[in-house]
Structure 1
Amino acid sequence: MRIVEVRERTFPISSPIRNAVVDFSQMTLSLAAVITDEVRDGRRVVGFGFNSNGRYGQGSLMRERFVPRLTAAAPDDLLDDDGLIDPHRAWDVLMTNEKPGGHGERSVAVGVLDMALWDLRAKLEGRPLYDLIAEKYGTGAPDRRVFVYAAGGYYHPGKGTRGLKDELLSYLDRGYTVVKMKIGGAPLAEDLERVEAALSVLGPGQRLMVDANGRFDAEEATAYLTGLESYDLHWYEEPTDPLDYHGLNQVAERRTSVPLATGENLFSSQDALNLARYGGLDPERDYLQFDCALSYGLVEYLRTLESLRPLGWEPSRFIPHGGHQMSLNIAAGLGLGGNESYPDLFQPFGGFPDGVEVEDGHITMPELAGIGFEGKADLAAVCASLVEDV
């Protein structure tokens, strides 16, 4: 097989919401299509990939550096012994002449293309990506039932505590058992009122997470911790800057009960290893949120899992950020602890294939070839718009 073309386009996923650090009024993402000369059922086989919210589209990086390397590569540099695309070999091609470190936006551009290549590989084999991942890198059998939580509770113009409660209730009514809200964008006293309002709508077996999006230094994060530990929270997310391992360690030393979660803004296996070494996190009760779509893709994610396992971090402690189907496939294939979900935001790129329902906080992965984008009608239409002439 041969890659004949790679296309990309920037799409808006803007929203009037904000967290403690950024608003989403100008947010974009990149959608890429890797087009091959292979034909299945009379149609060209195409792999699709896109990045998660929060880091904007990366079209210029793909056009200027990464796509030319991929399309100029000899077939032997991209294919395995069966003549199919090998995402690991393709990753090496993409990263040719790239220096270590300084991951920044580069990791997002590569993550988009890596996702498309894995989608392509599973489609060429005619099976779900989670099945392929389980066979090659997991136990051999995927766990199609995946825990998901509902991310929301953003600061929204004109939306008070009543609106927050209504939003979270809507998620619980749809089958979620764990919901998340933002903190750090208002004074502590106001945020604690918001937390109490959120907790007031929870029933038995339902939990609340809070997310500061790296807004605080260690002193501020600890001040919040003092208030938050009086509540029964599922976790306290990103209390400090993602790279402030010392500050996070200080928070971890002070907490007595609430689990911590972080990692969505770390983009390499080396950064993840530094977090595990120096962040003070406990692999028995804390969580890691690395997002393959922002951090060089599944190829690097596998390295991250491998490097952290000797430090006591099992796959069940990984719950990726991003709310996309790629991480759902990884969770099902590798036995991760679950995946983030955005029930109402960043559409059509978030969410599940049509007909997939949340039941008791879990979804069951459908049997769709590839990642499963074609099983979500609104997303399938956007993907098709990129290759309508193929």
Structure 2
Amino acid sequence: MRIIDIREVTKPIASPIRNAYIDFSKMTASLVAVVTDVERDGRRVVGYGFNSNGRYGQGGLIRERFRDRILDADPDTLRNDAGDNLDPHRIWAAMMQNEKPGGHGERSVAVGTIDMAVWDAVAKIEGKPLFRLLAERKGAEADPRVFVYAAGGYYYPGKDNTALRQEMRSYVGRGYTVVKMKIGGASLDEDQRRIDAVLEEIGDEAQLAVDANGRFDLETAIAYAKMLRQYPLFWYEEIGDPLDYQLQAAMADFYPGPMATGENLFSHQDARNLIRHGGMRPDRDWLQFDCALSYGLVEYLRTLEVLETLGWSPRRCIPHGGHQMSLNIAAGLGLGGNESYPDLFQPYGGFPDGVRVEDGHITMPDLPGIGFEGKSDLISVMRDLAE
């Protein structure tokens, strides 16, 4: 049993949308296939992975560093003790040889993309959905019902408040009970009018979260907080620079409602520093670490251990990214839920065919691995790379 190839292709996921910081007109993503010599049901087992939106494809790093470290390793060192499956932790260690600590930047995305594909392969070799495999390894029972919220509300050329209302209404109509919109890409007054329009549209059928994408300095963050605290928001997200823990800590004095951050923190050390110095409140705030951007599930397990030692429940974690990997982690490890992009970043976002949102939740299907084979538009792209 061994990995015989790792393939990468960089794909466009471009869209004429923008948030407070970037536009997505040139956005790309890396798609990876980890090809094994194992066969199940007459087909070679291939694990698939891709990086989350908002960070560009990492083909250079994957091909020049991390791929060859795995392929050059002794296959015996990449298997579990029983020798009947691959070991994601040992494969991760092989990838990270000769890498200095710190400076997580882009390499965390490259490693996280390969790690996703490795876990997909491991669960397929076991013949189990990844979420059930994770729960078994934890000694717990998986809950296939996962909370999801609809992320959207981007700035778009020519998009007025009527179109914004229609977008949010469509999410509520599809079963979501929490919807999210962008702020910080317009003036405070204009953003307030946008928020008022959405709240008038959704009424008491759903809650609204807002996301500043790290745009604000302290003065602007406080001004928005004073405006936002009149509303019953689900959360106020990524207020300032993700590494400005002092700014984040200061916001607790001005915003009593729930806050959320973490999607641009890429290691368990960064997560630990956020909890130590960012003033996050475990009774109401939310953590959005995304395994696909932060060295993968192997590292995410370390992050969960750090959170536990600091008094945080995994239920306070709702990962960024809107992908099926985090859905499996949420179901298998008891997270609070997952982000969802109902209309964006396809075919990578969303759920397997036939999965529907009901009362803000989806139910995970029993598909081997991460479940990519259940999403017809996505698996066709993946198999083009592998086969």
Q: Place the TM-score, normalised by the shorter chain, in its bin.
A: over 0.9
Cα separation, 2, equivalents of 1:253 and 1:89: 44
Corresponding residue number in structure 2 for 1:381: 380
Identify the residue that residue 335 of structure 2 maps to in structure 1: 336
Tell me which residue corresponds to 1:360: 359
Q: Tell me, yes or no, if the aligned pair for 2:172 and 2:205 is still in contact at 8 Å.
A: no
CA distance in 2, matches of 1:41, 1:134: 24
- Per the alignment, residue 284 of structure 2 pairs with 285
Q: CA deviation at 1:253?
A: 2.3
Match of 1:122 in 2: 123
- Structure 2 counterpart of 1:266: 265
- Contact 2:307-2:314 within 8 A present in 1 as well: no
Q: Is the 8 A contact 2:131 2:332 kept in 1?
A: yes
Amino acid at match of 1:385: D
Amino acid at match of 1:342: Y
Partner of 2:92: 91
Instruction: Supply the AA of the counterpart residue of 2:36.
Output: T
Aligned to 2:4: 4
Question: What does the per-residue CA deviation read over 1:286-311, in whole Å, with 9 as the maximum and x for residues that have no partner?
Answer: 00000000000000000001011122
List gaps (5 residues or longer) in structure 2. Answer: none
1:81 corresponds in structure 2 to 81
- Report deviation, 1:205: 4.6
Whether contact under 8 Å (1:253, 1:280) holds in the other structure is no
What's the counterpart of residue 65 of structure 2? 65
> Deviation digits for residues 59-93 of structure 1, max 9, x if unmatched?
00000000000001111211002221000010000
Q: Distance in 1 between matches of 2:77 and 2:219?
A: 50
- C-alpha distance in structure 1 between counterparts of 2:244 and 2:107, whole Å: 21
Structure 2 residue 225 is matched with structure 1 residue 202: no
Task: Say if 2:154 is the partner of 1:170.
Answer: no
Distance 1:91 1:115 in 2: 11
Q: Which residue of 1 aligns with 2:313?
A: 314
1:211 counterpart residue number: 211
Q: Which amino acid aligns with 1:120?
A: A
- 2:263 is paired with a residue of what secondary structure? coil
Aligned-pair distance for 1:217?
1.1
Structure 1 runs of 4+ aligned residues shifted over 4 Å read none
Give the alignment's TM-score, normalised by structure 2.
Answer: 0.99
Is 2:29 the counterpart of 1:29? yes
Instruction: Give the TM-score normalised by structure 1.
Output: 0.98
- Deviation of 1:169 (Å): 0.3
Question: Contact 1:165–1:197 (CA<8 Å) still a contact in 2?
Answer: yes
Counterpart residue identity of residue 65, structure 1: R
2:110 is aligned to 109
Stretch moving more, 139-148 or 174-183: 139-148
Which amino acid in the other structure matches residue 346 of structure 2? Q
| Alignment pair present for 1:231 and 2:231 | yes
Matched, 1:153 2:117: no
AA in 1 matched with 2:357: V
> Given residue 128 of structure 2, which amino acid in structure 1 is its aligned partner?
R
- In structure 2, distance between residues paired with 1:205 and 1:80: 48
- Measured in 2, the distance between the counterparts of 1:235 and 1:381 equals 36
Deviations 1:210-250 (A, max 9, x none): 00000001111111000000111000000110000001111
- The C-alpha deviation readout for 1:269-295, integer Å capped at 9, x for no partner, is 000000000001101100000000000
Read off the aligned partner of 1:47 and give its amino acid letter. G
Q: Is the 8 A contact 2:215 2:239 kept in 1?
A: yes
- Matched residues, number: 386
What is the CA distance between 1:336 and its match in structure 2?
0.3
Query: Residue 272 of structure 2 aligns to which amino acid in structure 1?
Result: L
State the identity %: 67
